[in-house]
Amino acid sequence: MSVLDPNNGIAFRRPIRSVRWFGERVSHRLDMRTLSVCLVLLAVAVAIALVTLASGEYQVPLPDVVRALLGQAEGRIHMVVVEWRLPRTALALILGGALGMGGAIFQSLTRNPLGSPDIIGFDAGAYTGALVVIILMGGSYYAIAGGALIGGLVTALLVYALAYSRGVQGFRLIIVGIGVSAMLTSLNTWMLLRAKLEVAMAAAIWGAGTLNGLGLDRLGPAALILAVLVPLALLMSRPMAQLELGDDAARALGVNAERTRLGLLVLGVALTATVTATAGPIGFVALAAPQLARRITGTAGVSMVPSAAMGALLLAGADYLAQRAFAPTQLPVGIVTVSLGGVYFVWLLLREARRQ
């Protein structure tokens, strides 16, 4: 499919529109396919969210859901849709977006579709941190979130340090990450086995990653933090794409490679950590979303915005299944993402193995 830009003779093989506004003070190459894919993904994610808001033990007709969201519904419908269900569903959307974006950053930095934060040890480490807090200190939400953050960051640093040898190579990082992840997982199992039954149950549910029962008190802080992190990440998306050309080429083109990599690493960890602190480690969204988005948009390398849109769609869909698949039993959403993601992971490993 070769589409010529009507403005010039460059064939980008994609529908590209050059836009120039305000006497050329603003100019951009708009990729119409990426743009429309993002819009469709977001529309589907929002549609899933609306269905989720409508369904449940107390069914609300869709028009009433929309009315409730616009602030035009009364009493019971307003309470069910806006106060009970909306925070959780909104969390599914924004946390899914954060996971997709964080995954895109890690996969771009490692230049490997396996290089996502859940594979390279971050999730296992966060769980270890949370377990220590839950078992030793009982643990309020903030203590658990703090423990998870410290656990995740320490693990990320450990993996980085172990993989370091004259700079960090993507593949080393992944292998070391998988190893560290496996060790921490067995440590986590051991801690769970030693803990009292009720404590172990609560910890296990946190460890699966769940949105069950999350309300406005979690949505607020998460939304606020992401409102800061996401624009910062977007500012770095162009240097990130340049870095994919290799360090030498990127530096020769004026990218400060070390600073860019460090900044992206911090942002990727922060995006993922926000999700973990809010809802526990939700696996496989960060792994799958960037690659699925890349396949649909057909772009070179992974990119942040389509990955975020795909992540929002995946987590919203998984959360719908978590709530409705075995209703009235509510599954932790992490169980759904891991089951679906596992299939994807096997396929990815097979494909990578065939290619080597």
Verify binding: residue 2, another protein, rule CB under 8 A: yes
Contacts with another protein in 130-149 (CB under 8 A)?
A: none
Segment interacting with another protein (CB under 8 A) among 8-16, 46-54, 55-63, 223-231: 8-16
Burial code (b: 16+ CB inside 10 Å, e: under 16) for 54-86 equals: bbbeeebeeebbebbbeeebeeebbebbbeebb
Verify binding: residue 111, another protein, rule CB under 8 A: yes
Q: Which of 32, 40, 62, 238 binds another protein (CB under 8 A)?
A: 238
Verify binding: residue 301, another protein, rule CB under 8 A: yes
Segment interacting with another protein (CB under 8 A) among 24-32, 39-47, 225-233, 279-287: 24-32
**Burial of 33 (C-beta count, 10 Å sphere; 0-12/13-18/19+):** middle
Verify binding: residue 67, another protein, rule CB under 8 A: no
Verify binding: residue 253, another protein, rule CB under 8 A: yes
Contacts with another protein in 216-235 (CB under 8 A)?
A: 235
Q: Are 275 and 98 in contact (CB under 8 A)?
A: yes
187: which residues sit within 8 A by CB, 6+ positions away?
A: 128
User: How far apart are the C-alpha atoms of 154 and 278, rounded to whole Å?
Assistant: 18
Verify binding: residue 24, another protein, rule CB under 8 A: yes
* Beta pairing class for 26-31 and 16-21: antiparallel
CA 115 to chain centre: 13
Verify binding: residue 20, another protein, rule CB under 8 A: yes
Verify binding: residue 167, another protein, rule CB under 8 A: no
Segment interacting with another protein (CB under 8 A) among 171-179, 197-205, 208-216, 236-244: 236-244
176: which residues sit within 8 A by CB, 6+ positions away?
A: 120, 159, 162, 163
User: Which residues make up the interface to another protein (CB under 8 A)?
Assistant: 2, 7-14, 18-20, 24-29, 111, 166, 235, 238, 241-242, 244-246, 248-249, 251-256, 294, 298-301
